[in-house]
């Protein structure tokens, strides 16, 4: 390789490579909102930097463009192997069959996560591998097209492709700074190209002396192409965001934790944080059938799986509690007995065994109240304030026992008769929502009346919301509720339409108005029984319910939500057939047919190659559709370019006009190949201009001489004497010249002329003007 006399940073286009790397990373920025953990960030940045440095070094050594692109691709693949596949290499160097198996496994894992979870999805090793691999290929494409190929406008295509992935899967409007970052980087790439071309104008003959291999002597202008690509980018972004399916962010299925400190119950921060919202509306709308929890139980009556609870209602929404590590009981300490449970309450202990758990830490789902808990391969701590388990790290399997009222048992006398002492409870458990207090109080007075037994009052409130009050279960809030953002509970009581959160919130506030401490519990419905006797809980089984403090029972579950997405009311809440029947002497009936005795589930068969291909099929089909769409888009510019180049030929009616049309075909074809269009001068000066700006062989130069001679005779001699044969020979000379210039042009210039010619841009522009005039 031969080095020229330019400075090394100019030969390597180091500044342009740096901007291209930043543009690729800007495309990756929105992925931080789609993926929960950021374990992919450092490897991705390292790979993008590796690609940029490789391209700059090879360009500094004056390597041909093809060698630069291949070098970047090979080193990028090598980097991916080192990061994710190193242990499958023979002697740490040579890929083996295990390497391919590992790649298939990682892609299968990534596909399962991305199809199962809504944003933000967990960043497994497979997801990290897929993201880093895609960003590496994007970096190679952007650097090859925008820097080595000197076509930054075309580099917008891979940038847009990567950006649309984020736009299509956030489930909400993209933040403007994400788009602005990519736009600024792309415009900076275009500005760098324009500045370099301006500085290179005094050395127009450099290409002739270098034989056409100078990567800095690319196409002379990309303004038109940049305008078209920019317009197509905006159209694709708008249409893509409107028509591509969005993945709703889930609440339980993807984990409640957002703060990294929340994943460590023993963290140095001394505190476990949770999400701000306790509304599982997104989970209720989730269409995924992937199980969140798979379990067995020997209970006669299955219970909802409780995850956490809160008493804080602020600014129209439930807010998760703040947990201090100092208030959590360590693993190994006996779980405390349920608070407030009086003597003589008939209890039974049931077993609960989780076979598969996809709920993200620090949360764990189980019936309540727990009597014992044993995790397989994990650690936990227990918050006795609201009977919540806080786990440290992912737990796949666990076993527990829990307490429930014994079927057929009788509650002791006096349950619920003694009012709660406000001094013994946190103030939040009795606080009313100020905005809805008037509406809540009026309804509670109407429903509860003079009833002073807390259990009976709770049943009256539950029955009013569940069956007696003409309320409608719906995931879509009525218009009045939607506009009542400042008073969502009052709006719900007015419209009487909502889902479990609205029903539970209304009951909590009505109970507090009656002086009964109450809180909101969040968890899952019991799920669906499977053929093997297990039960499966999915994301859309997310549920909320109120828990009221009843003297003699302690924290007691109620079920005010009607409809199919609601649990069965507990026995004690269905035991008052008449208003004056005291629940303290009621018999607790049986509720649900027991789950079959546990049987050993058959072990799943190892996935075959066909299974893996089947799992990858949706991803492959989407990629094929995207490639077909891109291919159709790339067909438009070449066809429009051909029509624009041959416009004068199609309009010609005489041999002289056909000669002029062939010359226009020549000038526009050479402009597509990166040769400056000729100034408006004599044919002989035009010939000298093209000889200076190209590096044709001898036959091409002779053909150019004959073509300019024919043009000169046509213009200045006797146009009427030009024959059809001369016009035909003019076409042959033009084809010879164009082929000669194409043969000596760099690969990126030939590719640009074929796939995205500047004449295509002009053709589209003229077509748009004609449509506007019409």
Distance CA 119, CA 247 (A): 6
Give me the residues paired with residue 351 across strands. Answer: 401
pLDDT-based confidence at 754, cuts 50/70/90?
confident
pLDDT tens digit sequence for 428-453: 999 999 999 999 999 999 999 999 99
Percent of the chain that is helix, strand, coil (3-state, to 5): 50, 15, 35
What is the distance between the alpha carbons of residues 668 and 492, in angstroms, rounded to a whole number? 68
Which residues, 6+ apart, have CB-to-CB distance to 190 below 8 Å? 152, 153, 222, 226
- Residue 354, pLDDT > 50, answer yes
List the structure tokens of 511: 């109970």
Higher pLDDT, 751 or 704: 704
pLDDT above 90 (res 142): no
Task: Label the pairing between strands 472-473 and 497-498.
Answer: parallel
pLDDT beyond 80 at 208: no
Q: Which of 172-181, 291-300, 355-364, 632-641 has the highest mean pLDDT?
A: 291-300
User: For residue range 269-279, what is the model confidence (pLDDT) as tens digits?
Assistant: 333 233 445 67
Least confident of 45-54, 90-99, 376-385: 90-99
Q: Which residues contact 133 (CB under 8 A, 6 or more apart)?
A: 80
Report the C-alpha gap between 632 and 85 in whole angstroms: 36
Highest mean pLDDT among 244-258, 656-670, 675-689: 656-670
Average confidence score pLDDT of the chain: 76
**Exposed, middle or buried by CB within 10 Å (0-12, 13-18, 19+), for 385?**
middle
Which residues on neighbouring strands pair with residue 497, listed in sequence order? Answer: 472
What does the pLDDT read at residue 580? 38
CA gap 759, 638 in Å, rounded: 8
Q: How confident is the model at residue 476 (pLDDT cuts 50, 70, 90)?
A: confident
* 11/440 Cα distance (integer angstroms): 75
Residue 345 CB partners (closer than 8 Å, separation 6+): 405, 409, 411, 412, 415, 552, 553
- Enter the tokens of residue 15: 């500044």
**524 strand-pairing partners:** 305, 542
Residue with tokens 């510019």: 637
Give the domains, in start order, of the chain with CATH numbers. Answer: 8-243 (no CATH), 260-412 (no CATH), 422-585 (3.10.620.30), 636-773 (no CATH)
Percent with pLDDT over 90 in the chain: 20
Neighbours of 173 (CB within 10 A): 8
Q: What is the pLDDT of residue 295?
A: 96
Q: Which of 27-36, 242-251, 505-514 has the lowest mean pLDDT?
A: 242-251
CA–CA separation, 310 and 489 (whole Å): 17
Find the range with the poorest average confidence among 325-329, 335-339, 697-701, 763-767.
325-329
Higher pLDDT residue, 212 or 63?
Answer: 63
Least confident of 245-249, 352-356, 660-664, 676-680: 245-249
Say whether 673 sits in a helix, a strand or coil.
coil
496 forms beta bridges with none
Which residues lie across from 319 on neighbouring strands? 312
pLDDT surpassing 70 at residue 543: yes
484 with 491: CB under 8 angstroms? yes
Task: Tell me which DSSP letter residue 255 carries.
Answer: -
- pLDDT category of residue 257 using cuts at 50, 70 and 90: very low
Would you state the pLDDT for residue 430?
94
Burial zone of 564 (CB within 10 Å; 0-12 exposed, 13-18 middle, 19+ buried)? exposed
Spatial distance between the Cα atoms of 546 and 567, rounded to a whole number of angstroms: 12
Of the listed ranges 16-30, 157-171, 404-418, the least confidently predicted one is: 157-171
**Range picked from 197-206, 255-264, 273-282, 322-331 for highest mean pLDDT:** 322-331
> Which residues in 582-727 belong to E strands, given as ranges?
none
- How many angstroms separate the first and last alpha carbons of the chain? 56
Question: Residue 102: its pLDDT value, please?
Answer: 83
For residue 402, the cross-strand partners are 350, 370
Sign of CA dihedral 432, 436, 442, 443: negative
Class of residue 353 by CB neighbours under 10 A (exposed 0-12, middle 13-18, buried 19+)? middle
- 């500085």: which residue's tokens? 199
**E-assigned strand segments in 384-539:** 388-392, 397-405, 472-473, 497-498, 518-524, 528-529, 535-538
Confidence band for 560, pLDDT divided at 50, 70 and 90: very high
Does the pLDDT value for residue 219 go beyond 50?
no
| Cα 79 to Cα 678: distance, rounded to the nearest angstrom | 47
CA distances from 494 to 279, 443, 513, 552, 562 (A): 20, 11, 18, 34, 17
**Which of the residue ranges 77-91, 471-485, 591-605, 658-672 would you say has the lowest mean pLDDT?**
591-605
Distance separating alpha carbons of residues 157 and 756, to the nearest angstrom: 12
CA distance 16 to 57: 13
How many Å apart are CA 583 and CA 550, to the nearest integer? 12
pLDDT at 363: 86
348: enclosing H helix or E strand:
strand 347-357
> Whole-angstrom Cα distance, residue 69 to residue 677?
29
Of 207-221, 291-305, 677-691, minimum mean pLDDT range? 207-221
Distance of CA 625 to the CA centre of its chain: 19
Interatomic CA distance for residues 457 and 549, integer angstroms: 12
- Decide if 9 contacts 216 (C-beta within 8 A): no
């Amino acid at each position: 390789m031969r080095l020229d006399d330019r400075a090394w940073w100019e030969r390597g286009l180091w500044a342009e490579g740096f901007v291209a790397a930043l543009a690729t990373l800007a495309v990756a920025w929105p992925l931080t909102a789609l993926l929960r953990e950021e374990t992919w960030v450092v490897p991705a940045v390292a790979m993008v930097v590796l690609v940029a440095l490789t391209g700059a070094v090879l360009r500094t050594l004056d390597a041909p463009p093809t060698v630069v692109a291949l070098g970047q691709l090979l080193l990028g693949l090598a980097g991916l192997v080192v990061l994710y596949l190193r242990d499958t290499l023979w002697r740490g160097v040579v890929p083996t069959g295990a390497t391919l198996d590992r790649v298939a496994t990682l892609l299968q894992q990534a596909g399962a996560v991305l199809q199962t979870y809504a944003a933000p999805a967990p960043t497994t090793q497979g997801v990290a591998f897929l993201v880093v691999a895609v960003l590496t290929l994007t970096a190679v494409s952007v650097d090859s097209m925008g820097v080595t190929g000197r076509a930054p406008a075309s580099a917008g295509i891979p940038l847009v492709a990567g950006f649309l992935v984020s736009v299509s899967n956030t489930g909400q409007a993209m933040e403007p700074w994400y788009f602005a970052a990519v736009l600024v980087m792309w415009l900076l790439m275009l500005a760098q190209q324009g500045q370099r071309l301006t500085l290179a104008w005094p050395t127009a003959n450099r290409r002739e002396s270098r034989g056409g291999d100078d990567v800095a002597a690319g196409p002379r202008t990309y303004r038109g192409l940049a305008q078209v690509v920019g317009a197509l980018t905006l159209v694709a972004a708008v249409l893509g965001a409107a028509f591509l399916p969005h993945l709703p962010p889930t609440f339980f299925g993807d984990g409640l934790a957002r703060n990294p400190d929340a994943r460590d119950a023993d963290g140095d921060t001394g505190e476990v944080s949770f999400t701000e919202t306790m509304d599982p509306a997104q989970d209720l709308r989730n269409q995924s059938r992937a199980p969140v929890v798979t379990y067995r139980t020997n209970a006669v009556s299955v219970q909802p799986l409780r995850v956490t609870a809160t008493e804080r209602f602020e600014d129209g929404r439930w807010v998760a509690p703040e947990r201090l590590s100092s208030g959590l009981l360590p693993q190994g300490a006996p779980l405390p007995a349920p608070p407030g449970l009086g003597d003589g309450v008939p209890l039974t202990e049931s077993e609960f065994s989780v076979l598969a758990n996809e709920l993200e830490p620090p949360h764990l789902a189980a019936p309540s109240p727990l009597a014992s808990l044993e995790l397989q391969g994990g650690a936990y701590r227990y918050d006795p304030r609201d009977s919540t388990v806080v786990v440290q790290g992912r737990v796949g399997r666990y076993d527990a026992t829990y307490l429930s009222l014994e079927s057929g048992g009788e509650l002791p006398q006096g349950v619920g008769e003694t009012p709660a002492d406000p001094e013994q409870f946190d103030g939040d458990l009795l606080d009313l929502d100020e905005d809805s207090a008037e509406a809540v109080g009026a309804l509670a007075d109407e429903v509860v009346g003079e009833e002073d037994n807390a259990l009976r009052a709770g049943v009256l409130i539950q029955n009013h919301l569940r069956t007696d009050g003409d309320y409608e279960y719906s995931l879509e809030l009525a218009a009045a509720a939607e506009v009542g953002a400042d008073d969502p509970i009052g709006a719900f009581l007015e419209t009487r339409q909502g889902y479990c959160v609205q029903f539970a919130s209304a009951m909590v506030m009505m109970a507090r108005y009656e002086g009964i401490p109450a809180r909101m519990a969040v968890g899952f419905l019991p799920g669906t029984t499977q053929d093997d006797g297990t039960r499966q809980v999915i994301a859309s089984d997310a549920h909320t319910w109120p828990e009221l403090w009843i003297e003699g029972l302690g924290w007691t579950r109620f079920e005010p939500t009607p409809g199919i997405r609601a649990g069965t009311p507990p026995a004690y809440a269905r035991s008052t057939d008449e208003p004056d029947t005291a629940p303290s002497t009621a018999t607790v009936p049986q509720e649900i047919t027991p789950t079959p005795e546990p049987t050993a589930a058959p072990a799943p068969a190892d996935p075959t190659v066909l299974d893996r291909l089947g799992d990858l099929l949706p991803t492959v089909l989407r990629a094929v559709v995207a490639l077909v769409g891109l291919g159709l888009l790339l067909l438009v510019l070449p066809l429009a370019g051909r029509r624009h180049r041959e416009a004068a030929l199609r309009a010609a009616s005489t041999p002289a006009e056909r000669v002029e049309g062939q010359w226009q075909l020549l000038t526009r074809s050479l402009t597509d190949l990166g040769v400056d269009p000729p100034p408006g001068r004599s044919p002989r000066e035009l010939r000298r201009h093209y000889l200076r700006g190209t590096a044709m062989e001898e036959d091409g130069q002779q053909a150019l001489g004959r073509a300019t001679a024919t043009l000169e005779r046509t213009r200045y001699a006797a146009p009427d004497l030009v024959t059809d044969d001369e016009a035909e020979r003019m076409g042959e000379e033009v084809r010879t010249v164009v082929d000669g210039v194409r043969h000596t042009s760099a690969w990126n210039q030939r590719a640009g002329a074929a796939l995205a010619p500047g004449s295509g841009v002009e053709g589209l522009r003229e077509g748009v003007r004609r449509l506007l005039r019409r």
